[in-house]
Each structure stands twice: as C-alpha cells, then as structure tokens.
Structure 1
Amino acid sequence: MARTEYYNDPDAPTPNSIVVAATAFVRNERDQVLLIQRSENGFWSIPGGGQDFGEFVADTAVRETREETGIDIRVIGLVGLYTDPRRVMAYTDGEVRQQFSICFRAEPVGGQLHTSPESPSVQWVAQSELDRLEIHPSIRLRIDHGFADLDQPYIG
C-alpha cells in the first residue's frame, strides 16, 4: 500500500486515525545508524512500524527491525516521543494517520542485513553521510536526537 507523507502542509488531508508506532535508532560499534529505504515512498528511514495487539511497544521496535533489516536488536533506552500533528501520512486505502511514534535507542545483537518488501535497501550509515540521502524531516529529527545522546528523551 502506497503512502504520501505531509509535513506542515496546509493542504494535507484531515487525519482519521492515530496508530501507535515504534521506531529504532540502532547504532553499531562503528558509530553508524541502521537505515532502510522505504518501498512505499523511497525515503530513507530508521526501521519501525505499527504496534500489534498483544505486543509490548518495545517489542514492536525489535520485531519491525528484524523484519525490515534482518538485524536483531536489544532496546537500551528511549530517544523520544514524536507526536507532531503537522506530520500526516495518507494511505491509498483512505486511512490518513496522524503521527504518534516512540523512538527507542537500540544496539545490534545479531542477525545479518537483508532486504524485505518494505525495505528494498538496507545499510549502515555514518552520520557524515546522512545529507546525501532523502530522509523525511521528522525521521531526520529522530536520527539527530539519537546521535546527540540527549540527557532526557525528546517529547514533542
């Protein structure tokens, strides 16, 4: 299912849902972040997705990272809560979702990189290489907060 992302756009459609989502800022020993290229819009992103019924939200980040990248992770902290109502995602099925995402800090503990239908490209990226990639501003904010190692999680 394709999606269009809007940010601070007065012409964005009105949201009709809010779904709890989790993302993972996964940093390796070489100080690189794990990124995927999303198949539905081509943007580079940290792995993540919607929480399933009966699932702890941190487990959502673990599951989505494994599914989208092949990497097993351990959640070690919280980067922040991202609830900006100016970020809206419109799906081809008519759902228009307002952002509500919890970004966890994580470290890799196993697995091997692989692609998936949701993520046709997966790679470890150094902070100095981020500007060459097309990254949605709200995702770039999470990545920047992850690299900044903030004393307190971001809430916004």
Structure 2
Amino acid sequence: MARTDYFHDPDAPPPNGIAIAVSAFVLNETGELLMIRRSDNGLYAIPGGQLELGETLARTVVREVDEETGIAVEPTGVIGLYSNPAHLIAYDDGEVRQEFSICFRARPAGGELHTSSESTEVLWVAHADLDRLSIHPSIRLRIRHGFEDRREPFYT
C-alpha cells in the first residue's frame, strides 16, 4: 500500500482516523542506528508499526523490529510520545491518519539483517551519516531525541 506523509501542509486531506503505532531507536555496540528504507514511500526510518489487538506495546516493538529488519530487540525505555496533528499519513485506500507513535529505546539481542515487504533496505547507520539519508522530519525528531538520551520522555 502506498503512503504519503503530509507535514504542516495546508493541502493535506482531512484525517479520518488514528492508529496506535510504535517505533524503535536501536543502537548497536558501535553506536550505529538501525534503519530501514520503507517500501511504501521510499524514505528512511527507524523500524516500527501498528499495535495489533491482544498485544502489549513492548511486544509490538519486538515484533515490528523483527519483521522489518530481522533483528531481535529488548525494549529498555521510552524516548517519546509523538502525536503531531500537523503530520498526516495518507494511504491509497483512502485512510488518512493523524500521527500517533510511541518511540521506544531498545537494544539488539540477536538476529541477522534482512528486508521484508515493508523494508527495501535494512542497515546500521553511523550518526554522522544520517544527514545523507532522506528521512521525514517526524522521524528525524525521534532520532534526535534518541541521541540526546533525555531523562524524561518527549511528548506532544
């Protein structure tokens, strides 16, 4: 399914839904960040996805990171709660969601990198190389907050 992100765009369609989603800020032992290139919009992002019925948020993080990247993770904390109504996500089936995502910090616990139907590329990226990647502003904000190692979670 194709996806279009609108960010502070007056021409964005009106939202008609919201979904609970998670994302994961995962650093390896050398300080590189786990990233995917999304298959639905071609942008680079930290892995994540939607909560399924019967799941905890922590289990969603573990499942989504494994599905999208092949890496098993252990959630270790919350970086922030992101619910910016100026960030709308439109899908080709007519759904237009307001952003709502809880970003977790997690540590890798095994696995091997692989792509999936949701990721065309999976890679570990050095902090200094992030500016070279095409990353949506809302994901850049989560990444910045992850590297800041804040005491308290961010929230909007």
TM-score (norm. length: structure 1): 0.99
Gaps of 5+ in 1: none
Which residue of structure 2 lines up, in the alignment, with residue 30 of structure 1? 30
Which residue of structure 2 lines up, in the alignment, with residue 64 of structure 1? 64
State the alpha-carbon separation in 1 of the partners of residues 31 and 98 from structure 2: 31
Find the residue that maps to 2:10 and give its secondary structure: coil
After superposing on structure 2, the runs of 4+ consecutive aligned residues of structure 1 that deviate more than 4 Å are none
Q: CA deviation at 1:117?
A: 1.3
Which residue of structure 2 lines up, in the alignment, with residue 51 of structure 1? 51
Which residue of structure 1 lines up, in the alignment, with residue 117 of structure 2? 117
Q: CA deviation at 1:151?
A: 1.2
Q: Percent identity?
A: 59
Alignment of 1:1-156 (within 5 A): 1-156=1-156
State the alpha-carbon separation in 2 of the partners of residues 116 and 76 from structure 1: 25
Q: CA deviation at 1:104?
A: 0.2
Find the residue that maps to 2:114 and give its secondary structure: coil
Q: CA deviation at 1:9?
A: 0.4
Find the residue that maps to 2:25 and give its secondary structure: strand
- For the aligned residue pairs, the C-alpha RMSD in angstroms reads 0.5
Find the residue that maps to 2:93 and give its secondary structure: coil
Which letter maps to 1:86? A
TM-score (norm. length: structure 2): 0.99
State the alpha-carbon separation in 1 of the partners of residues 60 and 23 from structure 2: 8
